[in-house]
Amino acid sequence: MAGVIAAGGPATAAAGAAMLQQGGNAVDAAVAAAFVSFIAEIGVVHWGGSGIAHLYDPRQQRSLVYDFFSNTPGLGANQPTDLDFAKVVVDFGAATQDFYLGRAAVAVPGNIFGLCQLAADYGRLPLPTLLEPALQLARDGVIMEPFQANTCDLLSPLYTHTAGMRAIFAPHGRVIQPGERLFLPHLAETLAALAAEGEGLLRHGRLAQTLVADQQQNGGLLTAADLARYEVHKVDSIRIPYRNYELLLPPPSSTGGVLTAFSLQLLSYFDMAHFRHSSARHLQLLYEVLTATNRARPYWEQWSNTLPVATAIARFLSEDFGRPYATQIETALRHGRPSPPAAEPDGPNHTSHLSVIDADGLAVGLTTTAGESAGYVVPGTGFIPNNMMGEEDLHPHGFHSRPPGIRLPTMMAPTIVLQNGMTRLVTGSGGSIRIRSAILQTLSNVLDYHLPLAEAVNRARVHVENGVLQCEAGYDETAVANLAAMGYSVNRWPSRSIYFGGAHSVARTADGRLEAAGDDRRGGATA
């Protein structure tokens, strides 16, 4: 089947294309590509993580979100007193950041459950076929792409935290370099078992037993009951109008989907013809929309914790709630003064996204993360777990304070755009809280400014953090200076950066042509 895929690396994109060439559909391509990404993009994602998939089938006019994000662990067991939970510090140059690793940082991993379920429900090809590209990489090793190797080097305290990790990521006494081949011992055997047994391998099979035994012996919280009772949530999309399009976004556990919908509704109040792209006025509008969303976020947090999810979404996205924020933006634009900022907690940074459309218009957006990894390998499996229980922003009331079995929130927001019932665009991003700003600007670049897809994805971006407009290299310095003269706090980045996300996107043009664009900030590739 014909189709296009955009992903976080050439091996990932090639795996998806191979499934299309074998007669698979967009779901087959996305699943095979995701399994490959856990090896080829090992600097940012792992098998032991979790994710969200968003699909749209134009033949049935049906959209569906597969939520396989992580649950808190600990069902059916008392919390051990001696937890394996350690802090490491990563030096980013301009700042340092604390990360928490170990067995007690591991939340219930959803990737295998979600991808196997998605393939069973909507795929055409059998699971062994979908796993074959990943199995080949596991056998042969993977040549490290520069982005992946550089990420491993940046996060070397995590990737050299234990002897098992050092054997993989620093086999020669230093962190693996671009162009060198990385091997994951025992992963090929685990993949072969997954091909034969399916999700049962992690539900109750050998992988589950080994993972849980290691947790019990080494101060972890994950139990057999956590794996046995884990469910992939299948939920309807949030649907909102935008200009002449319909936008589909994921609902909770995706906080990112709701907040992105709110930002887009605010942007829809303004005629973008009056905001020349990259001008000071355009930058001002983006600052005000992103800042208004940050100010509104506490209401979402309150309502989502106290109201039924559908009620909370309806209230947060209602005209009555959103219009005053739009009025505040109009006032700021008119007077040329910045609105009050609002702080926002950061989230898991190491995330990868891929987008696929096939010839039938079936569309899939798929985002996965492992946090930063738990810093160890489950013995004899090649399986690297997540560290979602060690992400401070996901646990505002303190680590290990949530009861077992609770779905954690995420900023992941794979987004699909429809026009007259047909898929127009699929996008999404990695990058923690920058996911929303990356998606917002990519969508606006395509839908408001009608930029070619590659330009829309790779145009310089901005993000608001703690009241400061972070301006990526590439913006007109005169426009940035004019904005600063109005009193806006601006931080000028000297180069392009993974900080601003990785919005690998695919689209169908007005004449029916399929196109794909990889985000070069995060090793983007297409096929």
Nearest residue to 444 (alpha-carbon basis) of 285, 255, 239: 285
**108 DSSP 8-state letter:** P
Share of the chain above pLDDT 90, in %: 87
- Rounded to whole angstroms, what are the CA distances from 71 to 166, 187, 429, 446, 466? 28, 24, 22, 35, 29
Which amino acid, residue 503? Answer: A
| CATH architecture of the domain with residue range 235-347+413-526 | 4-Layer Sandwich (3.60)
Region 197-212: mean pLDDT is 98
Known active-site residue 81: no
- pLDDT of 92 reads 62
- pLDDT of 346 reads 59
Q: Is the pLDDT confidence value at 510 over 90? A: no
Q: How far apart are CA 358 and CA 5, in angstroms?
A: 9
- pLDDT of 397 reads 81
- Rounded to whole angstroms, what are the CA distances from 235 to 100, 232, 301, 424, 459? 31, 10, 20, 22, 33
Q: How far apart are CA 215 and CA 95, in angstroms?
A: 33
pLDDT band at 478 (very low <50, low <70, confident <90, very high): very high
Nearest residue to 100 (alpha-carbon basis) of 83, 90, 86: 86
Q: How far apart are CA 119 and CA 379, in angstroms?
A: 28
Region 97-124: mean pLDDT is 96
Question: Quick one: tokens of 312?
Answer: 């909370």
- pLDDT of 426 reads 98
- pLDDT of 393 reads 74
363 with 63: CB under 8 angstroms?
no
Pairing assessment for the beta strands 50-57 and 489-492 based on DSSP bridges: unpaired
Q: What is the pTM of this model?
A: 0.96
- pLDDT of 95 reads 58
- Rounded to whole angstroms, what are the CA distances from 50 to 112, 242, 321, 524? 8, 30, 32, 21
Q: Is the pLDDT confidence value at 354 over 90? A: yes
> What residues contact 481, with CB distance under 8 A and at least 6 apart?
none
Ranges assigned E (strand) in 236-362:
238-242, 245-249, 351-358
Region 297-316: mean pLDDT is 96
Nearest residue to 155 (alpha-carbon basis) of 384, 373, 476, 381: 373
Which amino acid, residue 263? Answer: S
Q: Is the pLDDT confidence value at 349 over 80? A: no
- pLDDT of 94 reads 56
- pLDDT of 79 reads 82
Torsion on CA atoms 441, 447, 450, 455, rounded to nearest 10: 30
Q: Is the pLDDT confidence value at 163 over 90? A: yes
Q: Is the pLDDT confidence value at 343 over 80? A: no
Q: Is the pLDDT confidence value at 440 over 90? A: yes
Could you tell me the end-to-end alpha-carbon distance of the chain, in angstroms, rounded to an integer?
Answer: 13
- Rounded to whole angstroms, what are the CA distances from 384 to 45, 52, 186, 307? 10, 19, 12, 36
pLDDT band at 91 (very low <50, low <70, confident <90, very high): confident
Instruction: Identify whether 253 is preceded by a cis peptide bond (ω within 30 of 0).
Output: yes
- pLDDT of 2 reads 92
Question: Quick one: tokens of 426?
Answer: 């699929």
Q: Is the pLDDT confidence value at 348 over 60? A: no
Q: Which of 291, 351, 410, 526 is catalytic?
A: 351
Q: How far apart are CA 449 and CA 465, in angstroms?
A: 25
Residue with tokens 């033949």: 59
How many CB atoms lie under 10 A from the CB of residue 112?
A: 25
Domain with CATH 3.60.20.40 in the chain: 235-347+413-526
State the alpha helices, DSSP H only, in 218-254. 224-229
Q: Which residue has the higher pLDDT, 89 or 229?
A: 229
Residue 235 bridge partners (DSSP): 65
Q: Is the pLDDT confidence value at 104 over 70? A: yes
Q: Is the pLDDT confidence value at 347 over 70? A: no
pLDDT tens digits, one per residue of 221-249: 999 999 999 999 999 999 999 999 999 99
- pLDDT of 447 reads 97
Q: How far apart are CA 361 and CA 359, in angstroms?
A: 5
- pLDDT of 511 reads 87
Q: Which of 73-87, 200-214, 223-237, 316-330 has the lowest mean pLDDT?
A: 73-87
Q: Which of 79-83, 301-305, 376-380 has the lowest mean pLDDT?
A: 79-83
Region 38-54: mean pLDDT is 95
pLDDT tens digits, one per residue of 420-429: 999 999 999 9
Instruction: Return the exposure string of 198-237: e unless at least 16 CB atoms fall within 10 Å of the residue's CB, then b.
Output: bbebbbebbbbebbbebbbeeebbbbbbbbeebebbebeb
Q: Is the pLDDT confidence value at 318 over 90? A: yes
Mean pLDDT of the chain: 94
SS3 content of the chain, % helix, strand, coil (to 5): 40, 20, 40
Region 61-65: mean pLDDT is 96
